[in-house]
Chain A
Amino acid sequence: MTQTISPLLKIVVGIILLIVVAPLIVPLLMSISDTTYIVFPPKGFTLKWYAAVLANPEAQDSFLFSLKLAGIVTAVSLILGIPCAVGLTRFKVPGQDMVLGIILSPLIVPLIVTGVALLQLFSIMGSRATMLQLVIGHTVVCLPYVIRSVSASFVLINRNLEDAASVLGAAPHVVATKVVWPQVRPGILAGGIFCFIVSFDDYPISMWLADGNHFPIPLYLYTVIERSFDPSIAAIASLMIFFALLLVLVIEKVFGISLARLAS
């Protein structure tokens, strides 16, 4: 049976969506302004700022580096986070609450403090491996997202289905792939997406650990804003909005999970 949605609810939802989306339209409009500085509403029309950004090797390097970093961090976080979530939800572990508290602590401590603490730690260790430092730093702040999301999936899983499959003769690997995986997949995917986005957007950790050869896109954006506040800033912001949109569409298309399930 389908429920009918009241017109009032539709209007309210429409207004909320407009409020959420409207600020994203502003940089889009500013990015096409044919002026050497940012104006709103835009004056004239040009796509030269997009051409300038896309042809800029610094912007390209930073964007590709952020993609690479976020990809590695997502993989590492999933490799560490999934077994951790399974252990915490399915087994009695001594000091379980403490372990969970430590893992989730980066969500409570300001990231800027975590960043400077990590820099101090790596300095004491004598580490000069910037990429490794960034991967570790980002993983520390991304891991809680994976563990929270995956843990929730494992808590909500219907254990009776596993028991039924086992009783009916399914081997453990069949139970894992045919019964457990379909139930936890949205949680794992959601954790991975959060992880990727948190890493891709991170500024406070990277600010302490990055260097000129490892320069993520949020740091690049900040330096560009300091250099010159021209419409190329709005063009970069618009490209990042398009990228996020593309990411959601690809995930929806490739993995076939609906946004509603991700949000649930």
Chain B
Amino acid sequence: MTNISRRTFGKLALGATALAAPLAAPMGFVRNGWAAGKEIQIGIWGGSQGEFVRKEIIPAFEKDFGAKVTAEEGFTLTNVGKMRATKDSPKFSVMFIDDVAIPICKAESLIEQLPKGDMPAMANLYPKFGFDGWATALAISVASMFHNSSVTPPSSYADLWKKDYSGKLKLVSPKNTPSVFFLIVAAAVKSGKPFAEAQYLIDDSFDKVAELKPNIMNLFDNGPQAANEVAQGQADIGLLELSKYIYPYTAKGAPVTMSFPKEGSFAGNNCQVLVKGAPNRDVAVAFMNRMLETKVQKAFSEFALTAPPVSGIEFSAETLKYIAYPLAEMDKRGLFTPDWEFINAKRSAWTEKMNGIFSV
């Protein structure tokens, strides 16, 4: 019998382990095993974006990480409401909201700053979509006028106040975020100032808003439905809506498309936030990182016809017809993001004024 010293035995054992490890890997080693068995709940949007997240992104993430992700579809205000209702014992880990709600969530301590060090995909994020570390954009839509393809749209928003458009316009409901864009447009038309300055003049512009009333056929609160109605010729022009609700119809061949008056357009920033005290925070951060990865962003953008907030993605010419990308293209189109902190403080009063004008 051969005598083996403790040291020799140790070397043999180490060698055997080193040899066995690659063989055993397929059986026992799981990439991202730290997340296995964990579960997070996330609040996402509805629409085509929600569909893609649920059908494509979540299953792939669950496969790669062994974690379970349960998604609830909603919209920004509902998702903020859910965070508020569960603030003391958070149920959700990640929430998808529009940039309009980020200041509210921050002020109410509903969210926490993102751990940039744990999110390598943030390296490609355009800085303007980082929201000071409190959120990242996931998709950027353009908000502007949409019209029936048989109609020649005006080159300036100011023309919409002309009698030619009497009863031919559909206006977005005050309860929808794009109604704020309309108020900025009205203030810009009245004052002749750019959007960046006009947004602070809204209080003095409701007479201009009221002047448009004879041209408004009705208000809409569902973008896809409004796009469908304009496509059928029930109205000539709709103002204003996000491209993600209009272009899917254009791409299907419906006679509706968007136009971009000379005053400029607005950016609709769909974002993700990390809930404060999120259950399984590590999985939540990994999921948020996954959402920003180039491959995911490319597929997500092509499906929903929205622009990604990250650099370095190649799109086909067909897709580029519908999105403003890269950043230089967004800047070229003058995509304006309002001062949401200022607007949020005034929005309920403005909503009441709008209701007063259009409900009579």
Contacts and interface: CB of A to CB of B under 8 A. Distances in A.
Interface of A: 36-40, 116, 119-120, 123-124, 126, 128, 207-208, 210-213, 215, 219, 222-223, 225-230
Contact of A120 (B72, B86, B249, B253): B86
A143 to B, nearest CB: 22
A222 B46 contact: yes
Given A222-B46, A226-B46, A123 B73 contact: no
A227 B51 contact: yes
Contact of A226 (B86, B222, B232, B254): B222
Interface string B108-136: 00000000000000000000000000000
Q: 3 tightest A-B contacts by CB?
A: A123-B86, A226-B47, A223-B46
B191 to A, nearest CB: 35
Interface stretch (B17-25, B74-82, B157-165): B74-82
Contacts of B225: 225, 229
A37 B234 CA distance: 14
Given A123-B85, A229-B222, 6 more contacts: A37-B228, A119-B86, A120-B85, A208-B78, A212-B70, A215-B73
Interface of B: 41, 46-48, 50-51, 54, 70-74, 78, 81-82, 85-86, 88-91, 222-225, 227-228, 231-232, 248-249, 252-254
Contact of A223 (B47, B78, B232): B47
9 contacts: A36-B254, A37-B252, A39-B232, A123-B88, A123-B91, A207-B74, A212-B54, A223-B47, A229-B227
A228 B224 contact: yes
B326 to A, nearest CB: 27
Contacts of A223: 46-47, 50-51, 73
B126 to A, nearest CB: 27
A152 B254 CA distance: 54
Nearest to B231: A37
A226 to B, nearest CB: 4
A16 to B, nearest CB: 27
B71 A211 contact: yes
B89 A229 contact: no
A207 B78 CA distance: 8
A207 B73 CA distance: 9
A165 B224 CA distance: 64
Contacts of B248: 228
A120 B231 CA distance: 42
Most chain-A CB neighbours within 10 Å: which of B85, B89, B227? B85
Contact of B71 (A119, A207, A212): A212
Contacts of A222: 46
B231 to A, nearest CB: 6
Nearest to A36: B252
A212 B47 contact: no
A117 to B, nearest CB: 8
B253 A36 contact: yes
B89 A37 contact: no
A225 B41 contact: no
Nearest to B89: A123
Contacts of B224: 225-229
B23 to A, nearest CB: 38
Contacts of A208: 78, 81-82, 85
A207 B81 CA distance: 11
Nearest to B228: A229
B232 A128 contact: no
B46 A227 contact: yes
B46 A124 contact: no
Contacts of A119: 82, 85-86
B236 to A, nearest CB: 17
A126 B253 contact: no
B85 A213 contact: no
Nearest to B74: A207
Given A37-B254, A223-B47, A225-B225, A211 B89 contact: no
A257 to B, nearest CB: 39
Contact of B72 (A124, A126, A212, A230): A212
Most chain-B CB neighbours within 10 Å: which of A39, A211, A212? A212
A238 B228 CA distance: 19
A219 B44 CA distance: 13
A5 to B, nearest CB: 40
Contacts of B223: 226
A138 B130 CA distance: 40
Nearest to A209: B72
A217 B279 CA distance: 28
A128 B70 CA distance: 12
B48 A228 contact: yes
Contacts of B74: 207
Contacts of B50: 223, 226-227
